[in-house]
Amino acid sequence: MLNNSETLATSAILLIAIAVLVWGFNRARPYGKIGILSWLQSVVLMAPWLLFFTLFAAGIYLNLVGVLILLVASTAMYIYLGRRLRAEGQDVILRQQANERLKEQQQTSVEETSNQETTPESKPPIPEQDLQTIKGIFGIDTFFSTETIPYQDGAIFKGNLRGDPETVYNELSNNLKEALGEKYRLFLVESPENKPVVVVLPSTNDPQPSTMGQNILAVILMVATAVSSVAAFSFLLGFDIFSNLERWNEALPFAFALWMILGAHELGHRLIARRYGIRLSLPFFIPSLQIGTFGGITRIESLLPSRTILFELAFAGPAAGGVVSLLMLVIGLILSQPGSLFQVPTEFFQGSILVGSLAKVVLGSQLEESVVDVHPLTVIGWLGLVINALNLMPAGQLDGGRIVQAIYGRKTTRITTVVTLVVLGIVAIINPSNPIPLYWGILILFLQRSLERPSLNELTEPDDARAGLALLALFLMLATLIPLSPALAGKLGIGL
């Protein structure tokens, strides 16, 4: 039986899940059939994991075949709904949004036009001839400019958006490029007053490539991470690599498997970057003697055209690394048997809801022993999941922060960054024996707390299917990092 605190926690989680589903449904309902189909895609995407963990918490364990059936059925339904959604035509949503904005803005257009005629404008630091050319790209059917304000080395143009943001952005940016070439960049963003504005900045403000010093630092960190990975696995094998250098080859295969996960993560980022012509810096890997590495930090060295591309770029790395890690974990669990190379205490599997639940599905009653023999891939897969989950925390320029910024905007990302730092601080105080939360809190605070640059088109949101993928990624991040409570672990037969 669950005690009162566990019952309260379970009820709270259930209420939060219901609230998220209701919120998503209410958000999708105004868009009619297309909105409902998009919402159903998100539900179908998350349903197998939610059902699996709900049954698991209730003491009902699905075997591996059952889990695979759930995932296959979910994928098939997701593809089917996607085809229905495309058949309905997503441009209906865009037209509806444009019409709603147009109705609101037409009510104030006359007043703003009169203000434009009577209010003197400050001169931005753009040559007068270029400024007049830029003003000429606007139109009554795209963006009706009413006020020009100096901003950095360019200007902000306030006014009324007269169409779908993506269509308007494409037309304005093409007009600017035809008129002035690559001299300026045009951003379509939201002002602090929650109104669309156009920002034009010189292309000299574009992100700059990494310097030679930064590239050298990235290479040094890469070498240090290779050493720390070998050292971490040498400790798992029962010896200190720094005192037994001649045994380095014993730990190397395991470190190489971990590098495969890191490589998959980075390859995911770079395949999307190459697809859209985005320039990325070398990865700045973070060495760790506890788990080998905390992953890498990769700077985006190009302006991103849209929030959709920001999402795909941020999501691709953890998705690729997470899939490889999960495959290694499951294969390792299947291959685990008495006499396997690593012997780990069963408390090992209490450190993660995801790892513990999958281990229970595969290993069953073996987890009731004090020590379990596991295949090395089990440990490597678990470490890979942790590394990808740490990078999915919704803060700053971490992959998770970029995903939240892409889906929910910059204001929400600022809030989640602060919340993440507070939670890491609390965990570090409650559990001082685990240094990882403190390390990551310091890393985010000093290196990663700033948000990613706004996209050129900041107004067009990614679709609900990508929002569903974002929720799934954040859900699996929590399931990886949150441990099982001792009482629940005991109820499930994980540990003595």
Which amino acid, 278? I
> How high does pLDDT run on average in the chain?
79
Task: Assess contact for 281 and 294: CB atoms under 8 A.
Answer: no
| Those residues with Cβ within 8 angstroms of residue 343's Cβ, 6 or more apart along the chain or in another chain | 371, 372, 373, 374
Within-domain flag for 237: yes
Paired strand residues for 90: none
- What is the average per-residue pLDDT within 116-135? 69
* 277 and 307 belong to one structural domain: yes
Q: Is 198 helix (H, G, I), strand (E, B) or coil?
A: strand
* 182 and 217 belong to one structural domain: no
* 147 and 220 belong to one structural domain: no
* 56 and 115 belong to one structural domain: no
**Residue 157 pLDDT exceeds 80:** yes
Within-domain flag for 96: no
**pLDDT score, position 13:** 54
Within-domain flag for 99: no
Domain boundary among 179, 205, 231: 205
- For β-strands 292-297 and 284-288, DSSP reports them as antiparallel
* 201 and 254 belong to one structural domain: no
Cα 465 to the center of its chain, rounded Å: 14
The number of folded domains in the chain is 3
**pLDDT score, position 384:** 92
Burial (Cβ within 10 Å: 0-12, 13-18, ≥19) of residue 151: middle
Within-domain flag for 249: yes
Which tokens sit at 281?
């810096």
Cα 170 to the center of its chain, rounded Å: 26
Task: Indicate left, alpha or beta for 65 from its phi (over 0: left) and psi (-120 to 50: alpha).
Answer: alpha
Within-domain flag for 127: yes
* 151 and 262 belong to one structural domain: no
Question: pLDDT, tens digit, for every residue of 348-363?
Answer: 888 888 888 888 888 8
Give the pTM.
Answer: 0.75
Confidence band of 278 (pLDDT split at 50, 70, 90): very high
Within-domain flag for 238: yes
**pLDDT score, position 115:** 44
Q: How far apart are CA 471 and CA 45, in angstroms?
A: 9
Cα 348 to the center of its chain, rounded Å: 27
Q: How far apart are CA 84 and CA 37, in angstroms?
A: 8
Task: Assess contact for 383 and 292: CB atoms under 8 A.
Answer: yes
- What is the average per-residue pLDDT within 67-94? 63
Question: pLDDT, tens digit, for every residue of 304-316?
Answer: 999 999 999 999 9
* 303 and 387 belong to one structural domain: yes
Which amino acid, 328? M
Within-domain flag for 43: yes
**pLDDT score, position 73:** 72
Domain limits at 27? Answer: 4-89
- For β-strands 371-374 and 342-345, DSSP reports them as antiparallel
Domain boundary among 205, 232, 247: 205
* 200 and 237 belong to one structural domain: no
**pLDDT score, position 65:** 57
Within-domain flag for 271: yes
* 150 and 269 belong to one structural domain: no
Q: How far apart are CA 369 and CA 343, in angstroms?
A: 11
* 170 and 227 belong to one structural domain: no
Q: What is the number of other CB atoms lying within 10 angstroms of the CB of residue 365?
A: 8
Residue 323, φ and ψ in degrees, nearest 5? -65, -45
Question: pLDDT, tens digit, for every residue of 215-233?
Answer: 999 999 999 999 988 988 8
Domain boundary among 177, 205, 233: 205
Q: How far apart are CA 148 and CA 137, in angstroms?
A: 14
* 160 and 296 belong to one structural domain: no
* 85 and 112 belong to one structural domain: no
Task: Assess contact for 286 and 296: CB atoms under 8 A.
Answer: yes
